[in-house]
Amino acid sequence: MKDTHQPPLLTALSSASADSPFVRVGDSSLSLDDLRGAAAAVADRIAGARRVAVNANASMETIVAVVGCLTAGVTAVPVPPDSGPAERRHVLSDSGVQLWLGEAPDDVELPVVPIDVSARSSKSYPEPAAESPALIVYTSGTTGAPKGVVLSRSAIAACLDALSEAWEWTAEDTLVHGLPLFHVHGLVLGVLGALRVGSPLTHTVRPKPAAYAEARGSLYFGVPTVWSRVCAEPTAARALGSARLLVSGSAPLPKPVFEKLSGLTGAAPVERYGMSETLITLSTRYDGERRPGWVGTALSTVQTRLCDDRDQPVPHDGESLGQLQVTGPTLFDGYLGLPEKTAESFTEDGWFRTGDIAVADPGGFHRIVGRESVDLIKSGGYRIGAGEVEQALLAHPGVREAAVVGVPDDDLGQRIVAYVVGDSLDGAVVTDFVAGTLSVHKRPREVRVLESLPRNAMGKVQKNLL
């Protein structure tokens, strides 16, 4: 008879009993035994459902709900707590969820299952098939209605195992972060990663510098905004000097922040790259080079390549721009209910088109230039990466934030427009500064000073709003 036993996705939950706190969220904590029992109590109530929505606020209830879904083999659909009624209606309708887990907004018409973190069940559940869907994570919807990204249990496991190898992440670590629990970074890496590796988790509810400093972890996750704020509080930053590893992702880490964080903590941060559709594919390694502005090499289970508009190879010379394409076991199963859109996202030979523009050096080290749709600027016959210009802008001592876009221009095709945040900035001076560090054709033709840049929950600049 064929052995249908599957190795557990959340390995820590199948380990020996442990009474010490394993997961902390703010003032709430649960041991592995408590988490296992609380998740089983949720599984008892939702078993048999196909998909359920989870009110994915930063709480212990969210973690118990998601683990309960994974225990029961029910696909979880994390819903951002700040989503508006129209976005929420789209996600619930598109995903076809049957239940809502956690506190529900007034406009939710589904049956609601409250989450009681003190409830316990001793019932055990068989491990679901590795290829079964674990999560459906919705994209930000910047190019239309949000799309449901279907992530299998095996893809999540492959990603987390490759990251634990690259970062030397073990059960001896204590992971600390305060990231949202409805994205890959905070939920898959920041919660499921801890439960697979077996490292205790402290979620600070919000990623405030003081909370990070007080947590005394060995491994920290953050987005560039978090690390910028940490650097603005040197006492908190220095308290992280005892950590083994600081990881930055979800958006490019500005070189000035990289350098300041390195100086205050005594160690350079690790940067990595990924998408909801691919999970994490590139990262600098714990034992390798950490180069500001670069996101490292492909993880052990992943292959990457750079291609031009005709899917022809682009040289790895550290300069040539190409579309990043990815293949490997961490890829998603497709966009829910959108087979044509899914097919369009892959090349004829099965590589996923990330839509991101990158360069790679001869050693396979990658630098992400930005999104092809908004960050590849074609001006005066040149192909210019917005990210390179943004990094040059951020090197100006008066510029705190920067975003670069290309706007239609009758003469150039597109002209470079820079949006910057800073004090007493003169556009002409800023333009000359960039022209002094990059090729002249990469200088902004306009510089617009703002009080702040529009960002989403993960700190990414929403260039469509610019």
The gap from C-alpha 281 to its chain's centroid, in whole angstroms, comes to 11
| Kind plus residue range of the DSSP H or E element containing 213 | helix 209-215
Q: Could you tell me how many residues make up the chain? A: 466
Q: In this structure, are residues 361 and 318 in contact, taking their beta carbons and an 8 Å threshold?
A: yes
Burial of residue 284 (number of CB atoms within 10 Å: 0-12, 13-18, 19+): buried
Amino acid 334: pLDDT? 97
Amino acid 434: pLDDT? 85
Q: What long-range pairs does 373-379 form, CB within 8 A, spacing at least 24? A: 373/143, 374/405, 374/406, 374/463, 374/464, 375/404, 375/463, 376/321, 377/404, 377/405, 377/406, 377/414, 377/416, 378/406, 378/413, 378/414, 379/406, 379/409, 379/412, 379/413, 379/414, 379/415, 379/416, 379/441
Q: Give the count of beta carbons closer than 10 Å to the beta carbon of residue 298.
A: 20
- Closest-CA residue to 280 (of 178, 156, 196, 132): 156
Amino acid 4: pLDDT? 46
d(CA 149, CA 135): 8
- Tens-binned pLDDT, residue by residue, of the chain (466 aa): 334 456 799 999 987 677 889 999 999 999 999 999 999 999 999 999 999 999 999 999 999 999 999 999 999 999 999 888 888 999 999 999 999 999 999 999 999 999 999 999 999 999 999 999 999 999 865 556 789 999 999 999 999 999 999 999 999 999 999 999 999 999 999 999 999 999 999 999 999 999 999 999 999 999 988 999 999 999 999 999 999 999 999 888 888 899 999 999 999 999 999 999 999 999 999 999 999 989 999 999 999 999 998 889 999 999 899 999 999 999 999 999 999 999 999 999 999 999 999 999 999 999 998 877 777 787 766 677 787 788 888 888 889 888 888 888 767 778 889 899 988 888 888 888 888 878 777 888 889 888 888 887 656 788 878 8
d(CA 391, CA 271): 15
Q: E strands along 4-57, which residues?
A: 21-25, 28-31, 51-55
Amino acid 381: pLDDT? 64
Residue environment code for 395-405, b if the CB has 16+ CB neighbours within 10 A, otherwise e: ebeebbbbbbb
Q: Give the count of beta carbons closer than 10 Å to the beta carbon of residue 119.
A: 17
Amino acid 2: pLDDT? 36
Amino acid 142: pLDDT? 53
Q: In this structure, are residues 104 and 346 in contact, taking their beta carbons and an 8 Å threshold?
A: no
d(CA 449, CA 438): 21
Amino acid 380: pLDDT? 67
Amino acid 3: pLDDT? 40
Burial of residue 106 (number of CB atoms within 10 Å: 0-12, 13-18, 19+): exposed
Question: DSSP of 429-446, one letter per residue?
Answer: HHHHHHHHHS-GGGS-SE
Amino acid 63: pLDDT? 98
Structural domains present in the chain: 11-197 (3.40.50.12780), 380-465 (3.30.300.30)
